[in-house]
Structure 1
Amino acid sequence: MSFPAEGTRELTTAEDTQAFAEELGRTLQAGDVVILDGPLGAGKTTFTQGLARGLQVKGRVTSPTFVIAREHRSTVGGPTLIHLDAYRLLGEGSSGDPLGELDALDLDTELADAVVVAEWGGGLVEQIAERYLLVQFDRETAVLRDPDSEARIITWRWVDAA
């Protein structure tokens, strides 16, 4: 199954965002890393819920803010989804060593055997992956056009970290 390596879509509702992410999730493979970049309330967790459906993993996907990382095992023998809050991982009290911080989480899954989705992932993922998918969320443009809008513009592209 193919998915465009880069693009932009305007998604009107949370359901549209999840459906788009589900389509993307069906194409992700073990070792893939996804950075979700956007302001608070932009739809990063909603997007991850769709990715989880596409990956066919167990468990309710919620914001990892208070636990820093959650693991969701596959129901079909595919990769585990590791959903993490990189802002908290690299925030106050951090050692400044992202690999050490990830290791300290004592995840049961090796990163190479999982799809890693990092909310607020900039600054972390560049150091743990040679290639990653950058997904940026823009809520401001749609709201400027229509203050009642729930739309978000999502832009994505694969980035070579090297």
Structure 2
Amino acid sequence: MTAWEFATSTATQTQQLAENLARLLRAGDLVILSGELGAGKTTFTQGLGRSLGVREGIISPTFVLVRIHPNLADGHNPGGPDLVHVDAYRLATPGEIDDIDLENTMDTSVTVVEWGVDRVEHLAASRLDIELVRAVGGALPAPGDETLGQTEDADDGSMDFADTFDADEDDDEPRTLRLNAVGPRWDGIDFSVLGQLVNTTE
């Protein structure tokens, strides 16, 4: 396993780093994103999608679990892989991951899984684990917290799901991105091309 660490100061820089990474990706690659709420996981995925040349409109797939963004034949990267964007927060076990049949799309897509640590590693022999760390941390909810992503209705006190479960509201604060490249797919790959390198370890 090879570890790399990068720094970004704005959402634009985070997306640019993701765009640079996308140039190294190909169909079959698995990217696991971790980090607290608002860490920038969806912002990062938007940068990946733009560089891969897939359909726009990437938002957190929290309530649908999986969104597929097909490659655009008339885009800047025709023939490239689709992007499969997964939110695994409410999927407690690898068995629940298997139930959404990601294996059917893995060979033709780049698969990005938010909250995928300890849930999806069995899907591929190689993967990229990317942790996004905000300069100022926020509260991390307990797994299974059913109030997560809900807002209280001022009229009757009931709870309503918000549209911005992982809204990256503080995108323009500094972030550290820690990338661990696992498996033979990434042997010898130089990730220093991604952006502002802070540290690297073997």
Report TM bin, short chain. 0.7 to 0.9
Give 3-state SS (helix, strand or coil) of 1:64's partner: coil
| Aligned residue number for residue 16 of structure 1 | 13
User: Are 2:132 and 1:134 aligned?
Assistant: no
Which 5+ residue runs of structure 1 have no aligned equivalent? none
- Give the letter aligned to residue 72 of structure 1: H
Give 3-state SS (helix, strand or coil) of 2:25's partner: coil
Return the alpha-carbon distance in structure 2 between the equivalents of residues 134 and 21 of structure 1: 13
In the TM superposition, what is the alpha-carbon distance from 1:34 to its structure 2 partner?
A: 0.1
User: Are 2:33 and 1:36 aligned?
Assistant: yes
In the TM superposition, what is the alpha-carbon distance from 1:98 to its structure 2 partner?
A: 4.0
| Aligned residue number for residue 153 of structure 1 | 176
TM (norm. structure 1) is 0.81
- Against the structure 1 CA distance between its residues 99 and 44, is the aligned structure 2 distance closer, same or farther, given a 3 Å change threshold? closer
Mapping 1:64-75, distance limit 5 Å: 64-75=61-72
TM (norm. structure 2) is 0.66
Instruction: Flag the structure with more relative contact order, 1 or 2, with Cα contacts below 8 A and sequence separation at least 6.
Output: 2
Return the alpha-carbon distance in structure 1 between the equivalents of residues 20 and 34 of structure 2: 19
Q: For 1:44-76, what per-residue CA distance to the aligned partner results, in whole angstroms no more than 9, with x for missing partners?
A: 000000000111101210001011110011121
Q: Is the 8 A contact 1:58 1:72 kept in 2?
A: yes
Q: Is the 8 A contact 1:30 1:115 kept in 2?
A: yes
| Aligned residue number for residue 165 of structure 2 | none
Give 3-state SS (helix, strand or coil) of 1:136's partner: strand
Q: How many residues in Structure 1 have an aligned counterpart in Structure 2? A: 144
As a proportion of its length, which structure holds more helix? 1
| Aligned residue number for residue 86 of structure 1 | 88
Give 3-state SS (helix, strand or coil) of 1:102's partner: coil
